[in-house]
Every structure is written in C-alpha cells, then in structure tokens.
Structure 1
C-alpha cells in the first residue's frame, strides 16, 4: 500500500497559471516516453510514486502516448486507482487530442467530433470522471478555429475538464483561439510549446502573446531529448536515445553538431555548482511566462536529480549573457 511522503510539499515550487487560481508544480512529469505497454509497469509505478513524493503534482498525458497509443493513459489509470486514488484532489491530470489515434477521418486533428470522442476515450482509459486540463494537441488547418474552441468549451460545460489548454500553436494562432475562448468564456489557462535552449522560437512570437493576455506556458522537450544533460559529453552511450536506430527525435549527427555548445554550457553549469540538466531546467523557468517545465524519466533517480534545479533558479546578468553568447554561436536547431 503506497503512502505519500508527508513532506512532499516542503521544497517544491508552485506557480499560478496567469490570472487563474490554478497552480502547477514548477516541474511536471511528462508521460510521452517510458509509460507505454512495452515498458516495465513496476518501473512506471516507481517513477510516478517518486514524482508525487517530490511534490510534483502535474501529470501530463495525451491520447496517443504509448506505444501502443492509449497505453500510457491506461497504465496511469491503473496506478491512479491502486496508489494515487486517495490523493486525486492533490494532483493535476492533463490529456490531449489532435494527433492520429484511430483509423478514419475522425481520429485525428481538431474537429468537434474528434475532440469530444477522444476526451471520452481518454477518461475511460484512465478511469476518471474529469481531467483537470484538456488540450488541443496541435492546430488543425482544415477546421475553423472557433469549432475547435467550442468543442473544448463543451468539455468544460459537460464537466469532463476543469480547464482548457492548447499546444504547438504559433503566436498568431494563439491570438486567434484566445479571441474565441474570450467570446465563449472558456477557462483557457495554458499553452504547451516545445521550449529549451536550442529552441527559443516561443520567446519571439508566443511569449509576448501570453504576456499580453496574462496566460502561462508549460514547456515540453525541456532537456532537448536528453541533449542538455551530461549524457553525451563523452560520446554516445549504447543505451541512449541517440544510439537507437529507430529514434525519430535525436540522431548521432545532431549530437555531434552541438557538442561544442553543450560542453560550453556545461562549464557554465559547473561554475553555478549545478549539473547541465539542472541549469537547463532552471534556465527554462527564468521566463516569467513559464509556470512549469515537463521532465521525462526512465528511472525514479532522474527525478530526484532534476528537482535539484529548484535549489538554484536565479541567474546573474553575466551568466545569462554568457549563455546567450554560447547559444548565438550555435546554428539554430528546432529538431527536439
């Protein structure tokens, strides 16, 4: 029988989502990788328990997470029922719809039929009456933005979601759907972009829109698929993501082309008495629009290490300038 750590809230940082009353833990657990039907269930359970014991209250899923698609939600639902059920009101559970989930024209994108059907399926897989946040996972070029917004609003009015989020929308696309949410009085609270030291595009077009509308962001790919850690400083380990022949996210050539930059960043981290991963997470959170950054884990110990980033969130002006100079010398990449 799992019993949560009684001191779990002592060190975690919690941030409001813009002007809403909802707060997220500064670090959230993403279940994109390592929580599918092909992954050891006992390890999944240990990671989720460790996350909650560290004060991580935000658990981020999507309908297609696996593999197989849907299995991450199913596994999380089992763990919720066996371990976290007494703590349901202490955690924020999110899911999404918008990428391919089932065959035919309705298992993808952002139509009213697809979003509502997907939400119903996600709730069933997780054994929930509602999720705390439901996202549209990406903009749909063939569906009017108002239809997507109205479908999400319907989920709130049906009691299937408490809040609404969007993901992978550009700044202009975000402005367009925010207008719809304002018209509908939808509790839209968060945007989830890809954001890390090697992908700073949100700073240019998205964060200004969020700031103007008093909304928040939660970033994914926070460590650039592991590149912004010490994993690749001395070559590519055999069991790493970059070494996998079927990995669509990180390749040996990408490790090689950024190695000089990563080593320079690591030197800055060492001068701050942090690991590179700790500094990269802290750097993400330096932006006032970033309420939370998602971290992945293949073992519980990684979460213990990542939470140490919260011990040193401050940056001096010189440190930020040095990091900017290092990144400016690296050709722009947005592949992670």
Structure 2
C-alpha cells in the first residue's frame, strides 16, 4: 500500500453518538456536494482533501446520487479515491449517500417511491465500488408518495444489507416525528436527520431540534457556513469570481450577498478575531453548541479548510458572553 493513514488520526477528534444509536460520527464530516463532481475532475486535489480529512479523524464522507455535475460523478470520483487509498480502511469509514432529487428521466428517477430508492442505491453502490453504505438517506419528503412506502423502502434497504442505518434529510419536525414512528414500527430506527442550519438559517431551532432530542435522532448540520457567507471570502464586499455565489452553485446567489448580511458577517468576524479564531471556526462552534447536532457537515476546496474545521471542534465550547454577543448581532441583523 503506497499511502498509509496517519497513526494519530483518532487522537483529538470527538466522536459523539448519533442520537441514542450506537453509531458515533466525527464532530466534522466531509460533504462531497461541491468540488468532487466532473468527469475530468482534478483527482489530485480531491485526493489531498480526502486524505487530509481522514488523517485528522474525519471518518464520515457524505454523498448523494445527484452530486456532480453531472449527477453521479461525485460518487464515481469518490469510488476512485476509495479504491486507491481508503479501501484498506473500509471498516473505519462511515460512507453516506442519498436519493430523493432528480437523477434520471421519467417517473421513476425522482422523489420517494420504493422503485426509485432501491434502484438509485444499487446504482450508487456500483459507482462507488461498495458492497454497502453505512447510512442511506431519503433526501427530501415526497408529497405524492405515502410516507409508509418510503419508510418501508428504507427498512428493506437496511434489512437487505445495502445500508447499515437509515436516515432522512430536509424533513421538518412533524415530518421527522412521523417518519421516526413509522421506522420504529417496522423495526429499523431512524438514526440521523440531515438539515440546513447556520447562524443565518435558524428555522430548525424551534421546529426540528427539539424533535431530534425527543426521538433520540442525531442531527447533521449541512451548510453551517451558509455556503461561504460565514467565512472571510465575502467580507471585502466584492463577489469573488470563483465563489459559489458568482457561479450559481448551491443555495447562494449574488442577490443573497446583501449589505445587511455582509454587515452581520463583519460584526461576527470581529467577535471571532477577538477570540483568536476565524469567522468560519466561530460559525462551526456556534452550530455545534446544540446538543442535538452530532456532526457539522462541511464542504472543502482546499485541505486547509478541513484543518480549520477540525481545529474548530477541538476548541472549548463557546462561553455565555460570546453567545450573548453573537445573539445580539443575529437578532439585530
């Protein structure tokens, strides 16, 4: 084996339990939504990001069938990296994928039917060169398929050995409660809910997070840096040409980078600097303060971004004065 993972990789990363399950996730997970797609992708850059992550205790790699572009290419690229470097460490990894958004044409390539979910996961496993994934998520609620059918599909997927655990994503509090009850009835617990949460997107605080605690479901927070708004990338005011907002990638659009939001980010950055950290690190620590949040899911275009996130979750919990100052800024903004 030409590459070996760092022997110290488990020395400092926290691994909280995912809700009341036996599954423990790293406090930082690596998402491959951005920067890992493309048929002619820069595999050398992707390799350094993935290996740096694993070398520092990031054991959870998060994908979906449609991640790219084109759809499927992120799973395919991860499969190449897995085969070259990570296969000897398979039992140390938590590989996750999802289905629920448009993947192929016609009535069977989207949403939440049993036909779509099973077929999609079979395709995902083939692209990644895996026998199973550790977590399979339904990516979004389906308003036209009975919840019972979607949850029965997740239950069967786990029982068939295609996945070890079932999860859901983008489900609100009431939808999560119903999904958890149905999976519990079937005998396959819902162990994780992945939802969007950051200082700038806080809707889950009153709706979803209390349900996760009550149901014993672990929370994974995606977009904790608000697609880059809670980093130093936009603080100067000009829109970087290679930014997600400029490229129309993900949720962030140029019209979202408003003077009001930039003012909030600059004021938060001042608090971060006062505490000897970056704005991104402050934002990650703030999200991780929630008891229901098991792991913060980051994207990365450079290895140093992974290292910054790992350092953030190793820092002490935010103090009361810091939290109060942050809340004052967020409420005013």
Name the CA distance, whole Å, in 2 between partners of 1:243 and 1:66: 18
Instruction: Name the counterpart of 1:59.
Output: 61
Instruction: Name the counterpart of 1:14.
Output: 15
Deviations 1:233-290 (A, max 9, x none): 112222222233x445323332223011001111111121110000100111000000
User: For 1:68, what is the secondary structure of its paired residue?
Assistant: coil
Deviations 1:69-107 (A, max 9, x none): 001111111111110010000010000000000000000
Q: Where does 1:195-214 land on structure 2 (aligned, <5 Å)?
A: 195-214=197-216
Instruction: Name the counterpart of 2:42.
Output: 40
Any gaps of 5 or more consecutive residues in structure 1?
331-336
Instruction: Name the counterpart of 1:284.
Output: 287
1:161 CA displacement: 0.5
Q: Which of 146, 151, 154 does residue 152 from structure 1 map onto?
A: 154
Question: In the alignment, is the contact (CA less than 8 A) between 2:112 and 2:141 conserved in 1?
Answer: yes
Q: Which of 304, 313, 318 does residue 315 from structure 1 map onto?
A: 318
Name the CA distance, whole Å, in 1 between partners of 2:152 and 2:256: 40
**1:260 equivalent in alignment to 2:250:** no
Instruction: Name the counterpart of 1:132.
Output: 134
1:200 CA displacement: 0.8
Instruction: Name the counterpart of 1:333.
Output: none
Question: In the alignment, is the contact (CA less than 8 A) between 1:17 and 1:291 conserved in 2?
Answer: yes
Report the aligned-residue RMSD.
1.1
Question: In the alignment, is the contact (CA less than 8 A) between 2:14 and 2:314 conserved in 1?
Answer: no
Deviations 1:129-188 (A, max 9, x none): 110000000000001101000000000110000000000001011111111011001132
Q: Where does 1:78-89 land on structure 2 (aligned, <5 Å)?
A: 78-89=80-91
1:305 CA displacement: 1.8
Question: In the alignment, is the contact (CA less than 8 A) between 1:219 and 1:294 conserved in 2?
Answer: yes
Name the CA distance, whole Å, in 2 between partners of 1:77 and 1:321: 44
Question: In the alignment, is the contact (CA less than 8 A) between 1:283 and 1:313 conserved in 2?
Answer: no
State the TM-score, normalizing by the size of structure 1.
Answer: 0.96
Deviations 1:93-123 (A, max 9, x none): 0000000000000000000101111111111
**1:228 equivalent in alignment to 2:220:** no
Instruction: Name the counterpart of 1:115.
Output: 117
Name the CA distance, whole Å, in 1 between partners of 2:250 and 2:134: 30
Q: Which of 282, 285, 304 does residue 301 from structure 1 map onto?
A: 304
1:24 CA displacement: 0.3
Q: Which of 171, 180, 183 does residue 182 from structure 2 map onto?
A: 180
Question: In the alignment, is the contact (CA less than 8 A) between 1:286 and 1:313 conserved in 2?
Answer: no
